[in-house]
Amino acid sequence: MGRIQLLPFLLILLLTEQTLTQKGKQKCKEEEHALAIRIKKHQNTPETKFKFYEEGRDEDLCQIQIFQPETLEKCSFNESLPLVVIIHGWSVDGMLESWIWKMAAAFKLHKSQFNVVIADWLTFAHVHYPIAVQNTRVIGLEIAEFLEWLESSIQFPRSNVHLIGYSLGAHVSGFAGSYISGSNKIGRITGLDPAGPLFEGMSSTDRLSPDDANFVDAIHTFTQQHMGLSVGINQPVAHYDFYPNGGHFQPGCHIKNLIANIGFHGIKETVKCAHERSVHLFIDSLLNDDKQSMAYWCKDINTFDKGVCLSCRKNRCNTLGYNIKKKRLKRARKLFLKTRSHMPYKVYHYQFKIHFIHQTKDIQLDPTFTLTLIGTKEDVENVLFTPDDGIKGNKTYSFLITLDTDIGELMMIKFKWEGIDVWANIWDTVQTIMPWTSEADRPGLLLNTIRVKAGETQEQMTFCSENVDNIKLLPAQEKTYVRCRNNAKKQARKARTS
- Binding-site positions: 207, 212
Q: Can the peptide bond before residue 197 be classed as cis, meaning omega within 30 degrees of 0?
A: no
Residue 262 — φ and ψ, nearest 5°?
A: -135, 25
Angle at 368 (CA atoms; ends 362, 374), nearest 5 degrees: 130
Rounded Cα distance between 110 and 174, Å, is: 25
Residue 136 — φ and ψ, nearest 5°?
A: -60, -35
Task: Specify whether the CB–CB gap between 378 and 408 falls below 8 A.
Answer: yes
Q: Alpha helices of 80-128 — where are they, by DSSP H?
A: 98-109, 122-125
Q: Is 193 a catalytic residue?
A: yes
Residue 490 to residues 319, 431, 471, 478: CA-CA distances in angstroms?
Answer: 41, 28, 11, 21
- Total H helices, total E strands in the chain: 11, 20
Tell me the sheet residues that pair with 249: none
Strands 379-385 and 368-375: antiparallel
Question: Which one of the listed residues 126, 162, 173, 193 is annotated catalytic?
Answer: 193
Rounded Cα distance between 473 and 364, Å, is: 12
Query: What kind and span of H or E run contains 465?
Result: strand 460-465
Q: What is the DSSP string of 343-367?
A: SS---EEEEEEEEEEE--SSS-SS-
Q: Is 33 a catalytic residue?
A: no
Q: In terms of residues, how long is the chain?
A: 498
Distance of CA 421 to the CA centre of its chain: 42
Q: Alpha helices of 423-486 — where are they, by DSSP H?
A: 423-433
Residue 357 — φ and ψ, nearest 5°?
A: -115, 110
Question: Which one of the listed residues 167, 173, 178, 209 is annotated catalytic?
Answer: 167
Rounded Cα distance between 228 and 70, Å, is: 50
CB atoms within 10 A of CB 333: 20
Question: Which one of the listed residues 126, 248, 275, 280 is annotated catalytic?
Answer: 275
Binding site, annotated residues for Ca(2+) = 207, 212
Burial class (CB in 10 A: 0-12, 13-18, 19+), 34: exposed
Terminal Cα-to-Cα distance of the chain (whole angstroms): 81
Rounded Cα distance between 300 and 296, Å, is: 11
E strands of 434-487, at which residues?
445-454, 460-465, 472-473, 478-483
Q: Which of 279, 45, 286, 85 is nearest to 173 (CA)?
A: 85
Q: Which of 237, 247, 344 is nearest to 289 (CA)?
A: 344
Task: Supply the DSSP symbol for 59.
Answer: S
Q: Is 275 a catalytic residue?
A: yes
Active-site residue list: 167, 193, 275
